């Protein structure tokens, strides 16, 4: 969510360099893809058009990887291969560990046998080698929860449930649904239910009550004032505020309010 807001702000800056727009567009497209938001395809199309004009792996690799992931989440393995192979050879020739690693990973996910080079990024080598535990640990150490969950989703049912919970926490609905379906197909027990539709309508995946309370945080109300306004107990108010801070990954009510103010959903309420 923060990546989308930051990228949008940069793209709206008329002085923002054209080549840097490619990075912002790729980040926006990838974030929207992971959240299942509409419009991601158009953003990634624009990113590809601009990246192609540069002819540089720095931009082509970034965009191709994002587009391969989008094709995977759309259930299009042929599209995954087409996007990943577009600059695969260039990444090999340049021996770029991260671009080649991710492009090889997507080819592998699409069912194609790939060559593992020792200079490729370690997490991708581990995932391609089906060492999902070690790959997940690498991603976790680097502070990449989405990629950590993606590695765990290749594991056993317990790991997949952990992955599902991480995806839901991040608002990564397509990956969450894919993992949920995989668990159900395998007959796993205690598969977490899909969040209520109303919970998924706002961009922070909050409950309706949490949306109400976040709106009051935007107004600058204290917990005591929230208690009075919504006719709830102080303990309930404290619980909801703590849950909101956790969901938005911020450490203060002021930071939560500031983040919410920047989003069109709350501007339109």
Last residue of a domain, one of 194, 221, 241: 194
Are 3 and 113 in a shared domain? yes
18 and 74 in a single domain? The answer is yes
**Do 90 and 51 fall into the same domain?**
yes
Same domain, 232 and 155: no
Residues 16 and 106 placed together within one structural domain of the fold: yes
Count: domains in the chain: 3
* Residue 146: inside a domain: yes
Is the same domain home to 34 and 61? yes
Residues 6 or more apart whose Cβ sits within 8 Å of residue 162: 149, 152
Q: Is 125 a domain residue?
A: no
Buried b (16+ CB within 10 A) or exposed e, 69-81: bbbbbeeeeebbb
Structural domain span for residue 152: 130-194
Query: What string of DSSP letters covers the chain?
Result: -HHHHHHHHHHT-TTS-HHHHHHHHHHHHHHHHHHT-TTHHHHHHHHHHHHHHHT-HHHHHHHHHHHHHHHHHTT-HHHHHHHHHTTHHHHHHHT-HHHHHHHHHHHHHTT---PPPTTS-HHHHHHHTT-HHHHHHHHHHTT-HHHHHHHHTTS-HHHHHHHHHHHHHHT-HHHHHHHHHHHHHTT-SSPPPPPPGGGGSSTT---HHHHHHHHHHHTT--HHHHHHHHT--HHHHHHHHHHHHHHHT-SSHHHHHHHHHTSHHHHT-
Task: Tell me, yes or no, whether 69 lies in a domain.
Answer: yes
Task: Check whether residue 215 and residue 261 sit in a common domain.
Answer: yes
Residues with Cβ within 8 Å of 153's Cβ and at least 6 positions away in sequence, in order, are 159, 160, 163, 164, 167, 175, 178, 179, 182
Domain membership flag for residue 182? yes
- Tell me, yes or no, whether 104 and 5 share the same domain: yes
33 and 114 belong to one structural domain: yes
CA angle 127, 165, 260 (to 5 degrees): 115
166/226 same-domain check = no
pLDDT in tens, the chain (269 residues): 444 444 444 444 555 556 778 888 899 889 889 988 777 888 899 999 999 999 999 999 999 999 999 999 999 999 999 999 999 999 999 999 999 999 999 999 999 999 999 999 999 999 999 999 999 999 999 999 999 999 999 999 999 999 999 998 888 889 999 998 889 888 876 766 665 544 445 667 777 788 889 989 999 999 999 988 888 888 888 888 988 887 787 889 998 888 888 776 666 55
Of 176, 194, 212, the residue at which a domain comes to its end is 194
Instruction: List the structure tokens of 223.
Output: 């917990």
Task: Examine the domain organization and report whether 31 and 138 are in the same domain.
Answer: no
């Amino acid at each position: 969510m923060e990546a989308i807001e930051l990228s949008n702000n940069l793209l709206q800056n008329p002085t923002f360099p054209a080549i840097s727009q490619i990075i912002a567009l790729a980040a926006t497209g990838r974030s929207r893809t992971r959240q299942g938001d509409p419009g991601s395809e158009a953003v990634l199309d624009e990113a590809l058009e601009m990246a192609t004009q540069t002819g540089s792996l720095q931009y082509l690799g970034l965009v191709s990887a994002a587009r391969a992931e989008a094709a995977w989440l759309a259930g299009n393995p042929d599209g995954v291969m087409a996007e990943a192979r577009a600059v695969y050879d260039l990444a090999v020739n340049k021996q770029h560990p991260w671009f080649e690693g991710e492009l090889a990973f997507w080819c592998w996910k699409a069912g194609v046998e790939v060559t593992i080079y020792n200079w490729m990024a370690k997490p991708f080598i581990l995932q391609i080698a089906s060492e999902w535990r070690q790959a997940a640990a690498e991603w976790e150490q680097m502070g990449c929860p989405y990629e950590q969950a993606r590695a765990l989703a290749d594991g056993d049912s317990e790991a997949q449930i952990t992955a599902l919970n991480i995806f839901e926490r991040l608002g990564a609905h397509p990956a969450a649904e894919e993992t949920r379906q995989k668990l159900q197909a395998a007959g796993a027990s205690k598969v977490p239910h899909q969040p209520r539709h109303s919970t998924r309508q706002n961009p922070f995946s909050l409950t309706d009550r949490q949306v109400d309370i976040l709106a009051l945080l935007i107004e600058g109300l204290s917990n005591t004032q929230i208690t009075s306004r919504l006719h709830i107990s102080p303990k309930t108010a404290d619980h909801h505020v703590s849950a909101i801070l956790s969901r938005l990954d911020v450490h203060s009510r002021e930071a939560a309010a500031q983040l919410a103010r920047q989003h069109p959903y709350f501007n339109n309420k």
